[in-house]
Every structure is written in structure tokens, then in C-alpha cells.
Amino acid sequence: MLTIHLSVEFNDLSDDKKEELVDHVVVHFKEAYKEEVAEAVKNDERGEFNEGMTWQEVICRINLIDYQMWDESEEEAKEFDWEYAVQTEIEEKAEKELYRAMKHLEIEVEI
């Protein structure tokens, strides 16, 4: 039997496999953001978040995601694509976490 030790990093994966892993992590980050929003809305003593806001808008406001794009006026905030901003933020965050997690992944293969 032959044993081979390999070092694998996130960059070593195919684009399809990277996308698959990112998609998997994104689901968990979305759930965490939704929980954060629920808690923020529940504890909103200053009345910052109204019922007309989507969870994406609330999380953008909490974490100041792309705030320079919507912070200037109420009109700009209405036209801002909250869902796209959150999706992009979460995908970037997931990719960074996967790069960090797979920095020095050692794999043992027995043939």
C-alpha cells in the first residue's frame, strides 16, 4: 500500500468546487445574519428599524455594508439593491473564511 500526503489550499480546487463550498457556507452566514436582524429589531429602542425594511436592509444598516451608496438620502436608500449588497458581502465573507480555513490542509491518500 502506498500512502501519499498532500497539502491542499482553497486555490487548488476547481472553480466548480470553490463555488459549491462558498454556496454551502453562504447558507449558514445568511441564517446568522437573519438571527442578528431578529435580535436587533426586537431590541430596537431607538426606532431605527421599521416594519417596511427587509432583513437585508436592516443587516446593511447594522454592519454598514456599502453605506456610502445609501447613506446620503432617503431616495438613494429606496433605490439601493439591499439583497444584492448582502449577497455580495456574504459571498466575499464566505470565500475569505474558506481561504483561511484551508490554508494548510493536509490530506492523506492511501492507494
104: pLDDT strictly greater than 70: yes
Q: Tell me the per-residue pLDDT of 2-49, one tens digit each, with 9 for 90 and over.
A: 888 888 888 899 999 999 999 999 999 999 999 999 999 988 888 888
What's the domain range around 70? 3-110
Q: Would the pLDDT of 72 be above 70? A: no
- Looking at residue 75, what is its pLDDT? 66
Backbone angles phi and psi of 40, in degrees to 5: -65, -45
Question: Cα separation of 16 and 21, whole Å?
Answer: 9
Q: How many domains does the chain have?
A: 1
For residue 71, pLDDT over 80 is answered with no
pLDDT digits (tens, 9 = 90+) for 74-102: 666 667 888 999 999 999 999 999 999 98
